[in-house]
Structure 1
């Protein structure tokens, strides 16, 4: 499967979300295979259209989330269950994220946990 348009990308994302909502343990073999195909196609699309900066710092990840998901700062703050002010401080590097923020980004936006940890200013890169 190859995603060629934004419409196909959003359709694939919606289909994946439906499979996630069903729960991994409840997927049949056909659905598991479809999930794998969709995941690979979405990853290929995002690599081209929404590339993650290599070795990003945490503020770059926040910017990436805003741009790639077409979110306002207020909407992203709501998704992460934090205040707009705290998000602004994270985005500008004035504050470091807490465990709850890192966990929310990992689960809600499927950002690799290791990448998140490595993006912190005090990590050993």
Structure 2
């Protein structure tokens, strides 16, 4: 992220809820560390959204080039967050035809969350 984006979007503290396969909450994507849910911190890098769960070494990375859409919901992958907005990144993994949807929640104001979404859309060309 450039310094201008850093001013608008603070540190992305929050949580990873899981990744659904083909929009079925009971079908969870398990490759490359995407199975385990958890709280952590994310950031927008030059290549994509990076999210590292606490007590883990390697971050989850969703490249911008693989993101196909962004939606919001109140629950994701069988988990309800008491009405808090869930940011859903629709994407595809390299060499995998399945439609994936990763769910995140971030401790951001509504305006900050909208700026985050607009930044991701711009970088992903969607």
Interval containing the TM-score (normalised by the shorter chain): under 0.3
Higher relative contact order (CA 8 A, sep 6+): 2
Q: Looking at secondary structure, tell me which structure has more helix per residue.
A: 1
Q: Looking at secondary structure, tell me which structure has more strand per residue.
A: 2
Q: Normalising to structure 2: TM-score of the pair?
A: 0.24
